[in-house]
Each structure stands twice: as C-alpha cells, then as structure tokens.
Structure 1
C-alpha cells in the first residue's frame, strides 16, 4: 500500500460497534475480495472488500475475519485468518502480512493462517446458533459475478444448514454511513490530494489540449501523493461531451471557447473524494457560460445549507429541485408555463438537471447509508448540482464533499479547492 499506516484503534472501535448489534450466540463472517482474472495470466489490480477493511484494516487478498462476541473461548471472539507468507511469496509477489503485522494492523490478537479456517470455525460453530452473512444490499448494487464472499456463504450454509442466518449489511449500512474522526481525516487527505491535482490542471489546460492529456496530469499528481489514483473512472468532458453524464472516453481535443466538465478525484487509503468542476478551455468564461455557472454554484451553496441532522434525503431533493427551478427560470431555460404544466413525477427542471444532488461518500464513492432514515452528524455527502444544455454545446456541474455537523452548516472538505468563476479565471491566466 502507498498510504501511511492507519491507527488500529479505528478498526477496534468499528468491530466493537458492530458486535454490539449482533444477536446472542452468533458469528459474523467477512471475506476479502478475489483478485479478478482478465485473460491468460493477467489480473485486475486488487481492490479490498470495503467491509473487511472497515472492520480490520487488512488490505490483502485471501483474508477472513470472524466475530463471535459471546464465544466462551475468549481467544476466539475476534479471529483473523490471513494467507501464510514465506520467502518464495515475498520474492515473487512482495511482502504479505505476518501474524504479528496482522495484529498491529487490525488490533485482532488471534491470528491464524488461512488453511486453519475450517478447523477453527468448526470449534466456534459448536457454541453458536446464528451466522451473519455479508450480502451486498446497496441501493445501486448490480452484481453479476460470484464474489469470494458469495462462494464462502454458499459453502457455509451448505455445510452447517441447522444454523440460523442473519444479515450483516443492515448493521454496516448504519455504521459505515456515520464517520469516525480518523475516517474524516483520511477523507480530508484524499480531498487535499484532489486539490493538488485540480490546481495542476488549471495551469495546464490550454486550447487544443486533449482530454486524455489532462487525465495523465491528474494521475501523475495523485500517484506522487500516495494515492492509488482515481477514486472512480474519471470524467473529463469538453464541449458537448459534458452533456453525457457518464462520459469516460476522454479522447477528444479541447477547443477554444468550450468548457471542460471534470468529475475527477483521488482516493487515499481506500477512502474516496468526489469532485466536479467546470472550467473554460481558454481561461475565460463567456457571459452566458458564467451566468449558468453562477446559477449552478448558487444551487450548490443553497443545497449545502439543507444538509443538517434530521433531513430526509427524498425531501431534500424536492427542495433542491425548487431552488434549481428558480435558477432555470432566471436563465430563460424554463418559463412559467413549463412549471405550471410539469409532471410531478418528472418536474420541469429535470430537462436540464436530471440526476440527484447528493449521495453518501466514504470507503465507496456511493457509500453505504439508508436513504429512508434521517441524516445524522458525521455523515459525509456530496453536493453536485448541474445544468446541461446540449443546444448550447456545454454542461456545468459543481461538486464538493461535506460533513454534516451537529449544529450549523456542514463542513466542506473541499473548501480550499477553487470554485468561484472569477478565481478560476484568475488562476488560469496568472
């Protein structure tokens, strides 16, 4: 890993919080992700399953965490299994966790090699009535590939069919959505790396630059600051490309007079940031571009103020829609008749702003969080309104990541990243 070690007290507290919500005489099981094959002997870069990372800090493949808070054998209340390492593995693949290093990383005192899993699990199961299995129930999840977690669950339930089954995900949805201070610090670090990347491209962008050249500049800056790279597939959309919400080709030349919409951000220690900015290729907004830009920025500022404890996500988006409607009327993109005759299920403003304004962010870009429950302090949300006008050849989106506070306005983790139109122009022309 490129990132600095994380204090294990984060993972110790996360496990304590999780186990406090488990049923009596139950075992929870968490698996690492697979290393996914591409073809021949090629594989994708390893990405750890966020749940085992959240509970242990272990960031390598072939790892299993078992939690059994009621186990009569105290040594088996928290057990971590890792792949046995040796000199051969160290030479060919690099250093893996030793038992001592696994304890230092996770705070788990009982460490076994993975080959001992079935034997140790059998001993634990004799004391238990219920298994907590870890299914992916995120509202955006669409899983077609069988995961290591899925294979293990299938094996576990076939081998021990007499045990009851419970789900870890509802507990994790609540726990992971409310961040600890260490997590907020890691996310702030990711945002700081993103800031460095954005400031770099403000100095780099000129007419006729290619979108992929900008992507390369960002990747350079992220990597040199201990990030693995982009937190998600980057969007660098010049001109009308900005009106494709998930434009990721990044293969067009940026023309004088056009805008570039960026949806780019760095990760750090598996924690994500999520930034959107829109800048003029030549360093100067036209009057029309600036008017639309300032309208989006106004909506973002007003939407941010609504992110307070007790707010319901669905109602929040209705209120943001009202603010956006007002701005679209001022810009002449909507008229009163459009609003009076709108379909309540698809309001008039959706013609120009068709996506949501906010989502949870954390270990995942679209992080865990139960959207039907009220917002709480220390949840982190994006705020990302946009206006997209294909007929005028540009689209604008602005996005920051903000922490809900117990009192007062949210804290903007991206408050130091330039956003005002005049500041953008000044920096690009300095």
Structure 2
C-alpha cells in the first residue's frame, strides 16, 4: 500500500507559499461547504483541493489562515466544533488533536472564533482562491485584492516524489479497471455496464472514487468529447471510447482508450486507431524540459493531419480542424485538469501532463482518442501509464 502524504509534506507546502507571499499579507482558504440535496441528505462533498494541498484535511467548513506580518509567519486553522446531536446522524467531526496530527498546525481553533480573529487582519494585502463566501468577506472587512491562484499554480504544477507515488498508484488502479473492461466488453451490453465494471474494480482495490465522471461513448457519438450519458446499447462492429481515471488519496489519473466492442477492429477502425497511436508515439518525445505546450499542440495537429491523410479516410475538402478539435494535454494532479494558470505552460521537471491526441469522424461513426499521463524529467518524458495496453494486437488478444 502506498503511504499517505506526511505531516512534513503539508508543512513544507505552507512554507513554500509563505516564500511567495509579500510581507504584510494574509491569505484565507476555505475547505468548502456541503450542499443540501434534501431535508436529510447532502450532495457528496469533496474538499477544495487548495485547502487539501496545504492541510491534508478533507472535512467541510474548515478555514486556513496564513498571515505574514513584519517577517513573521502565522498559521491558524479553524474547524467545526463537535456537535453531539449532528454526530449521531452524520458522524464525528475531526478533533483538534487529529487535525494537528495530520496537518502539523499548532494553532487550531473552532469556527466561532473566526470573526474576532479576522479583525486583526484588516489592512493587510488579502489573497484568496475564491473559496471564502462574499458575505464573510464583507462581514469581516476583507476586500479581495489579489488572486492566490497564480502562486498555487506555480507550486502545484511541480510534483514531489510523495505526490508522484500516489499518482502512480492511481494510474495502476486505472490499469486494473481497464483490464476488467477488456475481459468483459461485448456487443449488446450497455455503455454503463462497462462503466460499472471499471468503477467497481478501482473502488474494490482502494480508490476513493473516480477522478471525474467516467466517459463511455460508443459508435457514432464518439466525437462528442464530454459525452456523459453512458446509456446506449453497444452495437457489434463499432468502437467504444473510454475517458476515465481513479482518484487515490486525492490524486488523479486520466486515461483514454478506444476499444472494438466485439474484440476486433474493422479495417477502417484499425487504420484510424493506428494513425492516432502513431501520432501519439511521435508526440510524446516532444514533452521535454523547456518546451512550450503551444508548440506541442502545433506538432500534434501536424502529425494527426499527416497520419490521418494516409488512411484515405479524410474528406479532401475538410481540414484537420474537422477531425481534431481539442488540446493535446493538460496538467494532472489533485484535479484532473490540475491548477494551471496558462495551458501554454513551459514544461519543467516534476510536471505531469497528459498526451491525448484524437481523430473524430462523425460521418463514419468513429472516434479514437488515446491518452497517457507523462512525467517531465531532465532525462526526457516518462510515460507513467505505460502498463495500460494500447497496441491493436495486445488489445485484441486480451479481448
């Protein structure tokens, strides 16, 4: 089992953020609040990832305050006070001691002290990540002056070895789920049955949840990039495109694969699939330190056009924009589309960026996307998801 992030990890991240903040400033980051679904049920809660990144805590309503005054750093955490009545229905709130053990924060108070505490912050430069409700900012005299996101983006883009270990495990869980899809996929089943097989597998092996809503889109709907219905019956001699991932201890994987529903690609399907696969193999070596993702995007268009034309499936009156209409990749981490101020980022060691070329032909009822997760290193790109099958021969043999 992969170790969870250490208390030292969260302490180091807070210190790194302090180094980026100017003197006489404060930042307030909220965990987020639960949203009521009915009188006695809330929607599933997922914590604000910036709060998680700096504390390791996942409970709702927590507030982290970092203040930097006269060269001195002050960290204060506010959490919910125990409520015996509510805890009978919904479970215990985290204790001050448990919050300290996880986060390494010494000054932990209950939320009812937050208002009076904020009076000491008036007049400081205020940084936020848009998680503090407007009424609180008004009530406590806090005015939005600076966005915290550029600073957190700079930090979160580069992963530590501890983070990479969790991401590798999330990818491994995704691999296990995809293998089960390949073992069970067949015409006549519904798309959601393949989705259920994947999600049952990753959850039974320790995933917290899916990294995002699973996409399982077959046949002529494959060119729909964010198809989420997953309700169609899969038809013989068509393909199904999966975009899926596992979340493990907060960290995500993001993988796309396109499989033949009956276990064998038709001639045209194979031609289109191998065009995308060859383009991906040629694009990945461009994921080098110092390369700008804008240049990788242009290279992906060039290669997909080159290999697509070679299939003789393209309409000569159309352009690559008719067959490929999304970005080649994005940062991956605590969010599937991880915090990144500029998608045209210049690559640095420790970044994890997806590589996901695709070709979509609505008139032929086909769509192919192949996506892997790439670690940027000084020695060149490392495909973290290399174990997940993607060659035609291996896919057909596994099915």
Please tell me the TM-score bracket, short chain as reference: over 0.9
Secondary structure of the 2:199 match is helix
Partner of 2:357: 385
Partner of 2:371: 399
Partner of 1:59: 58
Residue 211 and residue 372 in structure 1: after superposition, are their counterparts in 2 closer, same or farther (change >3 A)?
Answer: closer
**Per-residue CA distance 1:75-123 (angstroms, 9 max, x = gap):** x711111111254444321232111110111111111111111223334
Alpha-carbon contact 2:354-2:372 (below 8 Å) kept: yes
1:365 to 322, 325, 336: 336
Query: How far apart are 1:155 and its partner, in Å?
Result: 2.9
Alpha-carbon contact 1:381-1:402 (below 8 Å) kept: yes
Alpha-carbon contact 2:118-2:140 (below 8 Å) kept: no
Partner of 2:137: 156
- CA distance in 1 between counterparts of 2:194 and 2:222 reads 15
Q: Does 1:419 align with 2:399?
A: no
**Per-residue CA distance 1:178-216 (angstroms, 9 max, x = gap):** 111111111111111111100011111122111111111
CA-atom RMSD in angstroms = 2.2
- CA distance in 2 between counterparts of 1:393 and 1:110 reads 59
- CA distance in 1 between counterparts of 2:154 and 2:189 reads 44
Query: How far apart are 1:164 and its partner, in Å?
Result: 8.0
Secondary structure of the 1:120 match is helix
Partner of 1:85: 82
- CA distance in 1 between counterparts of 2:102 and 2:246 reads 23
Alpha-carbon contact 1:178-1:378 (below 8 Å) kept: yes
Alpha-carbon contact 1:312-1:371 (below 8 Å) kept: no
**Per-residue CA distance 1:225-277 (angstroms, 9 max, x = gap):** 22232211111111112122211111111122111111111111221111110
Moved more, 5-14 or 411-420: 5-14
Secondary structure of the 1:38 match is strand
**Per-residue CA distance 1:124-163 (angstroms, 9 max, x = gap):** x27x62221223xxxxxxxxxxxxx241x553355436x7
Partner of 1:188: 168
The aligned length equals 398
Secondary structure of the 1:45 match is coil
Secondary structure of the 1:20 match is helix
- CA distance in 2 between counterparts of 1:276 and 1:302 reads 17
- CA distance in 2 between counterparts of 1:292 and 1:352 reads 11
Alpha-carbon contact 1:131-1:165 (below 8 Å) kept: yes
Q: Which runs of 5+ in 2 are unaligned?
A: none
Moved more, 62-71 or 323-332: 62-71
- CA distance in 2 between counterparts of 1:305 and 1:154 reads 49
Residue 4 and residue 58 in structure 1: after superposition, are their counterparts in 2 closer, same or farther (change >3 A)?
Answer: same
Residue 19 and residue 319 in structure 1: after superposition, are their counterparts in 2 closer, same or farther (change >3 A)?
Answer: same
Partner of 1:9: 8
- CA distance in 2 between counterparts of 1:40 and 1:169 reads 35
Residue 361 and residue 164 in structure 1: after superposition, are their counterparts in 2 closer, same or farther (change >3 A)?
Answer: closer
Q: Does 1:252 align with 2:252?
A: no
Alpha-carbon contact 2:283-2:300 (below 8 Å) kept: yes
- CA distance in 1 between counterparts of 2:52 and 2:181 reads 32
- CA distance in 2 between counterparts of 1:256 and 1:372 reads 40
- Structure 1 stretches of at least 4 aligned residues deviating more than 6 Å after TM superposition: none
**Per-residue CA distance 1:43-94 (angstroms, 9 max, x = gap):** 210010111111111101010001113368x7x7111111112544443212
1:232 to 188, 207, 212: 212
- CA distance in 2 between counterparts of 1:366 and 1:387 reads 21
Partner of 1:70: 69
Taking the TM superposition and a 5 Å limit, the aligned residue runs for 1:202-217 are: 202-217=182-197
Taking the TM superposition and a 5 Å limit, the aligned residue runs for 1:11-410 are: 11-70=10-69, 77-123=74-120, 125=121, 129-135=124-130, 149-151=131-133, 153-157=134-138, 159-160=140-141, 165-334=145-314, 348-369=319-340, 370-408=342-380, 410=381
Normalising by structure 2, we get a TM-score of 0.94
- CA distance in 1 between counterparts of 2:98 and 2:223 reads 48
Alpha-carbon contact 2:221-2:362 (below 8 Å) kept: no
- CA distance in 2 between counterparts of 1:159 and 1:207 reads 60
Normalising by structure 1, we get a TM-score of 0.87
Secondary structure of the 1:424 match is helix
Secondary structure of the 1:243 match is coil
Secondary structure of the 1:256 match is coil
